Structure 1
Amino acid sequence: MKRRDVILFVGIIVASIIGTKTFAEPLRKHSSEEIGAEEVERIIKTIKNNPEFSIFYNAIEEAELSKEIAKLDKMTLMIPSNKAFRLLPEDVWENFMDEDNKEDLVKLLNYHVIPEKVNFDDLNRADNLETLQNQSVKIFKGEDLKIENAVVQEKHEETSDVIIYKIDRLIMPL
């Protein structure tokens, strides 16, 4: 096993210990309508212009995720703050950003995209949500509203097709 593979593997284990788990769900077909190119560009610009989301922005650019986002008709983005990314060991994040691990980066980022618009009231009523990765993530209600182990800190922006929430941890697959 190559050194970067070992570091990536250890990072996924560490992130799992930090507290996130997911369960497989059947593949859901999405609407044939798409968010307009202008809307996608505005969303990407909103993320780019927020200094708290700069690491996420760099990751979606590296993963070319904006192309996948453009295929959706509605979406909810759970964006980890830069502080959330810094919870990962540095070598682990560097490996995700390595060109050879682009597929793993795409999978990781897809856990942060819900292919439907989920307002805050719906989040509070839901028990789980399906991600763009076709995996279910659990919703926990209590003192804080959590998606897996990530606390929903604030609603950052909302349009007719998109809601962006800031979260304090990465949502990671096991």
Structure 2
Amino acid sequence: MKQYLLGASIAFAFAGAQAADIVETAKSAGSFNTLITAVQAAGLTDTLKGPGPFTVFAPTDDAFAAIPKDKLDALLKDKAALTKILTYHVVPGKVMDADVKPGKVKTVEGSPLSVSMKGGKVEVDNANVVKTDVVADNGVIHVIDKVVMPK
């Protein structure tokens, strides 16, 4: 009987360990708190929890910290500008690292991101991709070291 209960507990634990959506995956990483705050302020949470798939080039908290505090605070209060910037970090579809090719990639915002390879490393506009293929159930996150701005 004890063996059965232990087996059932393990099976239950694995059943509960399903992949999370983009928002939940970013939250659990712990290094995207400012991004999550910005997504919520822009009203994009439900979209990024939606079916997707999405590829998100996600700036870390350190990337957001490079923006002067007064400018970041003002941006968080300007929903239209914030939405424009955040959707510039999102590409429709699920693009894994192995599928990334240099060139222009159309974003959800509408403007193209410039993807390049330098020394075997991927850059998006002027940001370095520092971690790739953080898989969510509705897409993938690639971690970048800067907040990129639409032209």
Q: Report the TM-score, using the length of structure 2 for normalisation.
A: 0.79
- Compute the displacement of 1:41 (Å): 6.3
Kindly report the root-mean-square deviation, in angstroms, between the aligned alpha carbons of the 2 structures: 2.1
Partner of 1:120: 97
| Aligned counterpart for 2:55 among listed residues 63, 69, 76 | 76
Distance 1:132 1:40 in 2: 23
Distance 1:160 1:88 in 2: 31
Identity of aligned residues (%): 25
Partner of 1:94: 73
For residue 47 of structure 1, what is the amino acid of its counterpart? Answer: A
Distance 1:84 1:104 in 2: 18
The verdict on how the C-alpha distance between 1:51 and 1:40 changes in structure 2, with shifts beyond 3 A counting, is: same
- Compute the displacement of 1:156 (Å): 5.1
- Compute the displacement of 1:69 (Å): 3.0
More strand by share: 2
The verdict on how the C-alpha distance between 1:62 and 1:41 changes in structure 2, with shifts beyond 3 A counting, is: farther
The structure 1 segments of at least 4 consecutive aligned residues displaced by more than 6 Å after TM superposition are none
Partner of 1:129: 105
CA contact (8 A) 1:111 1:135 kept: yes
Aligned length: 133
Q: Report the TM-score, using the length of structure 1 for normalisation.
A: 0.69
Is the radius of gyration larger for structure 1 or structure 2? 2
Partner of 2:141: 164
Unmatched tracts of structure 2, length 5 or more: 1-17
| Aligned counterpart for 2:46 among listed residues 36, 57, 67 | 67
The verdict on how the C-alpha distance between 1:71 and 1:51 changes in structure 2, with shifts beyond 3 A counting, is: closer
CA contact (8 A) 1:149 1:171 kept: yes
Unmatched tracts of structure 1, length 5 or more: 1-38
For residue 112 of structure 1, what is the amino acid of its counterpart? Answer: H
Alignment of 1:142-157 (within 5 A): 142-143=118-119, 144-155=121-132, 157=134
